[in-house]
Amino acid sequence: MLVVVLTASAGVVALAAAVIGHARRPVTWWERALLAAAAIGLIKPGLVTDLFGLSVMLLVFATPGAKKQRLTSAEPAAN
């Protein structure tokens, strides 16, 4: 019973992150899709779906995310 409550709660957190678009940081569109799939897996009862949902959710939450890097040059471009 406790496992069901914990995985369903994790599924609700993943679903909220997918809908809002923020999970400790702004998430990209493909991370939102992964979080939505993880939420479905966690909310649906079953060991295989729970393991899938937890692994995908941990993957998204553990990755630092893609950051845009600004190119800076120490020297001005020569014309």
Q: Does residue 72 sit within a domain?
A: no
Residue 76 lies in a domain: no
Is residue 77 in a domain? no
Decide: residue 40, CB within 10 A, 0-12 exposed, 13-18 middle, 19+ buried: middle
pLDDT (tens digit, 0 to 9) for every residue of the chain, 79 residues total?
898 999 999 999 999 999 998 888 888 899 999 999 999 999 998 999 999 999 999 999 888 765 555 556 566 666 6
How many structural domains is the chain composed of? Answer: 1
With respect to residue 73, please indicate whether it lies within any of the assigned structural domains. no
Is 50 a member of any domain?
Answer: yes
Distance between CA 67 and CA 61 in Å, rounded? Answer: 15
Give the Å distances, CA to CA, from 49 to 4, 6, 18, 57, 65: 12, 14, 18, 12, 25
What is the per-residue pLDDT for 29?
A: 92
Range of the domain at 14: 2-62
Q: Angle at CA 60, nearest 5°, toward 38 and 29?
A: 80
